Amino acid sequence: MCGILAIIGKGKDEALVKQLSKRMSHRGPDESDLHVTEKGHILSHERLSIIDVSGGRQPIQGSQNAWMVHNGEIYNHKELRETVLKHHTFRTHSDSEVIVHLYEEFGYNFCNMLDGMFAFVVVNGDDFIAGRDPLGIKPLYYGLDERGRIYFASEMKAIADQCQTFSTFPPGHYYTPQTGFVKYYRPQWEDAAKAVEETDYTAIRETLTAAVKKRLMSDVPVGVLLSGGLDSSLTSAIAARLMKEKGETLHSFSIGLTADAPDVVAAREVAAFLGTQHHEIYFTVEEGIAILDKLIWHLETYDVTSVRASTPMYFLSQAITQKGVKVVLSGEGADEIFGGYLYFRNAPSAADFQKETIERVQKLFTADLLRADKSTMAHGLEARVPFLDKAFLELAVKITPSEKQPQTYTGVEKYILRKAFDTPQQPYLPDSVLWRQKEQFSDGVGYNWINSLIDYCADMVTDEELANAQERFPYNTPATKEAYYYRSVFAKHYPQVSAAQTVRRWIPKWQANTDPSGRANEAHVNADTDLSCPVKINIAV
């Protein structure tokens, strides 16, 4: 919902801080404000107004001297106001304001009380606390300058040239000068040994529905990103039902290179089935290549799969905001929770499968969550991710891994998620989509997209440059011309060693071809020639 910048320490020029904050103005195009505390600390905010549109301006002062800035959404803010904070006097109706009051009421021990996505800084005299949501749905960076001042920012572009060192703020942690980093989020699902629960299809359906419902909280229009894959189609189906109960129509959005791209075709079918107001967006390979430089500046990563998938998401987000929609639901997280990527079929054991799902969920902030946030917020669009709801995670990740493995169901990935929403009497989705094979977003927009990117980068990078990649990029050395090109663009914008170290490259396990495209797995069905889906099956678990 916003871009935040906080500088703890005296002497920073206020005009310069405004300029630094404006580097993130795309995150908050509606309002901008700055506050200098009595101790000389500075809080700055670029606002995308979603809750309390007219009155929720930040930074926000608490009941006394504490001030705060926040990026994200607190879904249980009304419950907190009516219970543990009922004796507090609030200045706004914003969901964000509960954070500063929780600090005043409970000190540092309140992050687990928040249900939502967040990155925040609260300053009270010389005391302060910074925190990030459990999985890192919202980005946050921190750094130190030559005078020992501490910086916090939603994007590293605001602080990279100001700090001697900087890094990614770890998800599920808070930081204070007294405690340093503290891991406040310690869910049972992080322990692979706790994955012993049997599948409860009703609980899966009800918990995901509750997760979607709370994420429809908004004072502005909400839509859905609809790729036609299982995950986005399920969130769309649930949202469409919930909005229909209120007499409202859901807007859905898909993107592809052509009208017959795999995702576009599937999304069109889903939209017709659900009765959404559907919008199809198209982009060309040439347009995608033309914005790579700007895109990597926005993304702050050189990870190959992130760049590939962010390009269509960037164009889609631009089109969505032009239609007046500020919030969208997205399907990130389901593939990590349920082992939905095709390479999971090759897991050597149930224990390896479970360990990989946990690690992929924990590292989402370096990949799909980074992409989902920065490619949407490049145009002032907020993405919300129901699959990463805390209650849903605690339910789904702890299911016995053998009940999630594709091998258990003749190779059908995410079987138990599909089966939970296989309700013939009141179907959520057509069978052709409910049982459609996994198609990664960068593939589904049209296979020519990735093929063209690879060819373009091959023309931009010489054999000699790639051979000497270790010399130019000793950290995270790129192994392909495509990776080398993205790394070169990234280094132009972010030349600092600290910047390169914030990036984690992802390489799929358990398969010979290590390209991150889903098509690199031998199990992939080529949708260019075969638009069929896995056969619907019923297996007793």
Contact 338, 396 (CB under 8 A): yes
Instruction: Specify the DSSP element, H or E, that contains 119.
Output: strand 116-124
| Total count of residues recorded for the chain | 541
Alpha-carbon distances, residue 245 vs 209, 241, 248, 424 (angstroms):
13, 6, 7, 20
pLDDT along the chain (541 residues), means of 10: 94 96 97 96 96 92 96 98 97 96 98 98 98 98 97 98 98 98 98 97 98 95 94 97 95 95 93 97 96 98 95 97 96 96 92 97 96 97 98 98 93 95 96 80 75 96 98 96 98 98 87 68 50 41 34
CA quadruple 483, 485, 489, 492: dihedral, nearest 10 = 100
Q: What is the CA radius of gyration of the chain?
A: 23
Residue 357 and residue 57: Cα distance in Å, rounded?
39
**Looking at residue 510, what is its pLDDT?**
87
Alpha-carbon distances, residue 216 vs 5, 251, 389 (angstroms):
27, 13, 13
**Looking at residue 1, what is its pLDDT?**
67
Residue 152 and residue 129: Cα distance in Å, rounded?
11
**Looking at residue 517, what is its pLDDT?**
61
**Looking at residue 262, what is its pLDDT?**
87
Greatest distance between any 2 Cα atoms in the chain: 68
| Number of Cβ within a 10 Å radius of residue 204 | 20
Domain ranges of the chain: 2-186, 200-447+512-520
The residues carrying an active-site annotation are 2
**Looking at residue 515, what is its pLDDT?**
75
Contact 344, 353 (CB under 8 A): yes
The tokens for 371 are 């992409």
First to last CA, the chain: 42
Q: What is the pTM of this model?
A: 0.94
Instruction: Specify the DSSP element, H or E, that contains 256.
Output: strand 251-256
Q: Which fold has domain 2-186?
A: Glutamine Phosphoribosylpyrophosphate, subunit 1, domain 1 (3.60.20)
Domain 200-447+512-520 has CATH 3.40.50.620: yes
Contact 503, 370 (CB under 8 A): no
